[in-house]
Amino acid sequence: MKKVLIPTKLDSIAKELLEANGNYTVVQDAQTEIGALAAQHPDAYAVIVRSEKVDQKLIDALPALKVVIRAGAGYNTIDTKYARQKKVDVMNTPGANANAVAEEVVALMLADARHLIAADASARRGEWEKTKFMGREVTGKTVGIVGLGAIGKLVAKRLSGFECKILAFDPVLSEEAAARIGAKLVPLKDLFAQSDYVSLHIPENEHTKGIINKELFSAMKKGATLVNCARSGVVNEDDLRAIKAEKGLRFLNDVYAKDAEGPKSVGDIADIMVPHLGASTKEANFNAAQRSAEQLIDFDAKGVTSYIVNRDIPEGLDEAYADLTYTITTLARAMIGSDTKLSRIEASFYGDLQPFGKWLAVPVVCALSEEFDRSKDPKAAIAFLKDMGIEYSVREPDGTKGYGNSITIDLMASVDKDNLRRISVRGTVAEGVMMISRIGGFDKLYFEPTGHIALFTYMDRPGVLSEIAGAMAKEGINIDDVRNPHDKTGERSIAILKVSQPVPEKVLAKVAGKIEAINFCTVSF
Query: What phi and psi values does residue 241 have, to the nearest 5 degrees?
Result: -60, -40
**Phi-psi region for residue 509, left (φ > 0), alpha (ψ -120 to 50) or beta?**
alpha
CA dihedral 376, 381, 384, 385 (to 10 degrees): 160
Q: Which domains does the chain have, with CATH numbers?
A: 2-96+283-302 (3.40.50.720), 98-273 (3.40.50.720), 314-449 (3.30.1330.90), 450-525 (3.30.70.260)
b/e map 38-62, b = 16+ CB within 10 Å: beebeebbbbbbbebebeeebbebb
Which pLDDT does position 364 carry in this prediction? 93
DSSP string covering 309-357, please?
A: SSPPPPTT--HHHHHHHHHHHHHHHHHH-TTS-EEEEEEEE-GGGGGGT
Which pLDDT does position 375 carry in this prediction? 63
Reduce the DSSP state of residue 270 to 3 states and report it. Answer: coil
**Max CA-CA distance within the chain?**
86
The residues, any chain, with a CB within 8 Å of residue 473's CB and separated by 6 or more, are: none
Active site residue 261: yes
pLDDT in tens, 136-177: 999 999 999 999 988 999 999 999 999 999 999 998 888 888
Q: Where are the alpha helices (DSSP H) in 369-480?
A: 378-387, 464-474
Q: In whole numbers, what is the pLDDT of the chain averaged over residues?
A: 92
pLDDT in tens, 374-425: 667 788 889 899 988 899 999 988 878 788 899 999 999 876 666 678 999 9
CA dihedral 388, 391, 396, 398 (to 10 degrees): -90
Position 341, amino acid: K
Strands (E), 113-265: 142-146, 165-169, 183-185, 197-200, 225-228, 250-253
| Distance of alpha carbon 454 from alpha carbon 520, whole angstroms | 8
Which pLDDT does position 421 carry in this prediction? 87
Question: Residue 204 pLDDT > 70, yes or no?
Answer: yes
Active site residue 276: yes
**pLDDT band with cut points at 50, 70 and 90 for residue 344:** very high
Q: Cβ distance 145 to 166 under 8 Å? A: yes
Active-site residue, from 124, 125, 207, 261: 261
Which pLDDT does position 320 carry in this prediction? 85
pLDDT in tens, 354-364: 888 888 998 99
Active-site residue, from 231, 250, 333, 426: 231
Nearest CA among 252, 218, 234, 279 for reference residue 109 = 252
Give the percent of the chain with pLDDT over 70.
Answer: 98
Strands (E), 120-259: 142-146, 165-169, 183-185, 197-200, 225-228, 250-253
Give the percent of the chain with pLDDT over 90.
Answer: 70
Query: What phi and psi values does residue 512 have, to the nearest 5 degrees?
Result: -60, -40
Question: Residue 205 pLDDT > 80, yes or no?
Answer: no
Active-site residue, from 84, 114, 115, 276: 276
Taking the model in full, what pTM does it have? 0.70
Range with lowest mean pLDDT among 122-131, 178-187, 209-218, 365-374? 365-374
**pLDDT band with cut points at 50, 70 and 90 for residue 71:** very high
- Kindly tell me the burial class for residue 329, based on how many C-beta atoms sit within 10 Å of its own C-beta (0-12, 13-18, 19 or more): buried
Active site residue 50: no
Q: Cβ distance 485 to 471 under 8 Å? A: no
| Distance of alpha carbon 459 from alpha carbon 337, whole angstroms | 20
Question: Residue 211 pLDDT > 70, yes or no?
Answer: yes
pLDDT in tens, 255-272: 998 888 999 999 999 999
| Distance of alpha carbon 264 from alpha carbon 257, whole angstroms | 9
Strand-by-strand arrangement of the 197-200 sheet: 183-185, 165-169, 142-146, 197-200, 225-228, 250-253, 272-273
User: Measured on CA atoms in the order 190, 193, 196, 198, is the torsion positive or negative?
Assistant: positive
Mean pLDDT of the region 65-84: 89
Residues in the chain: 525
Reduce the DSSP state of residue 279 to 3 states and report it. Answer: coil
Question: Residue 312 pLDDT > 70, yes or no?
Answer: no
